[in-house]
A and B are shown apart, each in its own frame.
Chain A
Amino acid sequence: MPRFVRHLLLILLPVVAAFAILPSLYSNHLLLFNFIIFMTLAQGLNVIYGFTGYLPFGYVGFFGAGAYGFSLMIMHLQAPPLAALVVGAAAAIGLALLLTPLFRLSGAYFSIANLAAALAVLQVVSNPNLEDVTKGPYGISLSGVFDPTLSYATALAILAATLALVIYLRNSRFGMALKAIREDPISAGMAGINVVRERIIAWLLSALIAGLAGGVFAWYVSVFYPETVFSVEFTIFSIVFVLFGGSATVTGPILGAVILYGIYNAVGISTPQYFQLIYGALIMGLVLFLPNGLASLLQKWGIDVP
């Protein structure tokens, strides 16, 4: 059996099946939905950070663009939700295309510029002058299309597609090419890899995932403020989950999201400061002592982590 199919059966299928069954066993559906969203976002970040080494600190910008693209279609054109979802994804991809020149920058410069770009989008969307278009800072209400069952199923489908993509990247020449670019762009170019094109494809795929996640998030919660969907916390969560589990693997971000977001909810933190303290300390500890995540513990023993 090819490794691609084996990974689909052993990783994608159990995860998706579990989250398809769980709603009938566990009543807090919002929590399950958030798990799906965070796994999707962590994998989306994994596509760009894990495989190409570029860390988009403004990753949430695509999530927010997706949410607003979705909402504007519903509010102004009364579009059906699935069509609006496509527009949300298109908005995220449009933003990503607009930001492709950022790849001229490297390392931290890219991250800073991307963060600034995401904050700029937030400032535009939440500007009171645009109240007629985006409702400005006063938030969006989409109660007309509220449908928790269908939007949950859609989110699960998006997660499944994302996982399939990452499994493909993990086991294909394209994924290998991306990792080669990450390690040494010049050598990769010499080996016949079209560095610019491959990197931009990964970037657009990553934005597409976040855009879809944002759109379905807007659909599921149906009432939100600009600060909700552009909250830097989405980026932070995704980065921490990827770092914790291990980047450029399929299982790492899933484990990271399940373990850390699970702990976060199990502890039932009532004051956000303690959460912030724990996550800040966790990030520092990870960078200093386990910069390649849980997966690196196994990889050190020569075990191939899918």
Chain B
Amino acid sequence: MFVYSLLAGLLFGLYFSLIGLGLNLVFGVMRIVNLAHGDFLMLGAFLAFWLFTLFALNPIPAVAIAFVAFMIIGLPLYYLLVPRLLRAKDPEMLSFILFFGLSQVIEAVTTIAFGTSERSIPGDQLGRAVTAVAGLFAGHAVEPGPVDLFGQTFPASWVASSIASGCAVLLVYLYLYQTRLGYLTRAVMDNREEAVATGIDVHRVSAIAFGIGIGLAAVAGVFAPFILGSITPAMGAEVTITAFAVIVIGSLGNPLGTVLGGVIYGVSYMFMQSYYSSWANLLPYVLLVVILLVRPSGLLGRQVRRA
């Protein structure tokens, strides 16, 4: 039970990092709070669901489609909302309210379009992708089915989601630290005014970061049916809170701290599920409040914010 909880926590933790990553990127670059993050995740989940239902498309290629589609949605959305917001007196606070409104709009439109019924994608779809890849490495066909890790058995869809999340995190890391645009993005994160002064096109960099952030939410959404359970239009709010817990534990504005936050969150969530399951739902909220109070800057944060 202990080893199982630990390993399941690690698998979930990588996925939770992916959930938090996009939110943290947006906050780090623009200092705005995307309260609609969970709703973009929900939209990504519905995209994957419809791609599967209508075209029998496996979730793995759906990841690429979801990322590109939501990146394309994110860019104009940035120019529509954010520059106007950043001119206001208190952009951080107003962004909170603005994106709350956006999340309500998204949830309402999705409910009107699809109804409130729960939807899911069969878990073996991801399992098939895993066994196909495993077969390539092993050189022979691998039987589809649960995956054995250190003597514990996990659904293949968990393993696949967590591997994919790990890859996504790695790609974001490479983008931030190995490309020129990523270098500029980090400059804007560090100090927006100085970035403007050095001639960086801050709006372009921010728009791309915003697009990536929303794209990442959609990618996390593709795996949501396998990890978070069936999908409904109303699932967004809870996901947003979870994402906040994850990035606050890691550290706000530091995308890589998100991985640490996700893993800590995932492991503690699984232990709660195993040992005190009726109180497990309390965990994200309590963790969020306690970490904010004890270390407002998160575990990897440098600066402490005080009023």
Where the two chains meet, the residues of A that have a C-beta atom closer than 8 Å to any C-beta of B are 53, 55, 57, 101-113, 115-117, 119-120, 123-124, 127-129, 185, 232, 236, 239, 243, 271, 273-274, 276-277, 279-284, 286-288, 291
Which A-chain residue is minimally distant from B115 (CB atoms)? Answer: A273
User: Do B292 and A107 touch (CB < 8 A)?
Assistant: no
Contact with A along B99-135 (1 / 0, CB 8 A): 0111111111101100000000000000000000000
Q: Which 9 A-B pairs have the closest CB atoms?
A: A280-B104, A283-B101, A277-B108, A280-B105, A120-B285, A276-B108, A284-B101, A106-B307, A116-B285
User: Do B102 and A105 touch (CB < 8 A)?
Assistant: no
Q: How far is the CA of A273 from the CA of B107 in the complex (A)?
A: 8
User: Do B306 and A104 touch (CB < 8 A)?
Assistant: yes
User: Do A120 and B97 touch (CB < 8 A)?
Assistant: no
- 23 A-B pairs whose Cβ atoms sit less than 8 Å apart in the complex: A101-B293, A102-B289, A104-B307, A105-B296, A106-B306, A109-B305, A112-B33, A116-B244, A117-B285, A117-B289, A120-B282, A120-B286, A127-B282, A129-B279, A273-B108, A274-B112, A277-B112, A283-B104, A284-B101, A284-B102, A287-B94, A288-B85, A291-B89
**In the complex, how many angstroms separate the beta carbon of A100 from the nearest chain B beta carbon?**
11
Given the interface pairs A107-B90, A107-B92, A113-B289, the reply to whether A288 lies near B108 with Cβ below 8 Å is no
**Which B residues between 191 and 219 are near A, CB-CB below 8 angstroms?**
none
A276 in complex: contacting residue of B107, B286, B296, B306, CB < 8 Å: B107
Main secondary structure of the interface of B (DSSP, over half): helix
Q: For the side of the interface on B, what is the size category? A: 35 or more
Enumerate chain B residues within 8 angstroms of A284, measured Cβ to Cβ. Answer: 81, 98, 101-102, 105
User: Do B244 and A112 touch (CB < 8 A)?
Assistant: yes
Given the interface pairs A106-B305, A283-B97, the reply to whether A129 lies near B278 with Cβ below 8 Å is yes
For the complex, is B248 an interface residue (Cβ under 8 Å from A)? yes
B248 in complex: contacting residue of A111, A112, A120, A232, CB < 8 Å: A112
User: Do B296 and A104 touch (CB < 8 A)?
Assistant: yes
Enumerate chain B residues within 8 angstroms of A104, measured Cβ to Cβ. Answer: 293, 296, 306-307
Q: How far is the CA of A106 from the CA of B305 in the complex (A)?
A: 7
Q: How far is the CA of A230 from the CA of B55 in the complex (A)?
A: 42
**In the complex, how many angstroms separate the beta carbon of A247 from the nearest chain B beta carbon?**
11
Q: How far is the CA of A277 from the CA of B39 in the complex (A)?
A: 14
Enumerate chain B residues within 8 angstroms of A232, measured Cβ to Cβ. Answer: 237
A105 in complex: contacting residue of B88, B241, B307, CB < 8 Å: B307
Q: How far is the CA of A258 from the CA of B112 in the complex (A)?
A: 28
User: Do B293 and A273 touch (CB < 8 A)?
Assistant: no
User: Do B108 and A274 touch (CB < 8 A)?
Assistant: yes
**In the complex, how many angstroms separate the beta carbon of B302 from the nearest chain A beta carbon?**
16
User: Do A116 and B307 touch (CB < 8 A)?
Assistant: no
Given the interface pairs A277-B108, A279-B104, A288-B84, the reply to whether A116 lies near B94 with Cβ below 8 Å is no
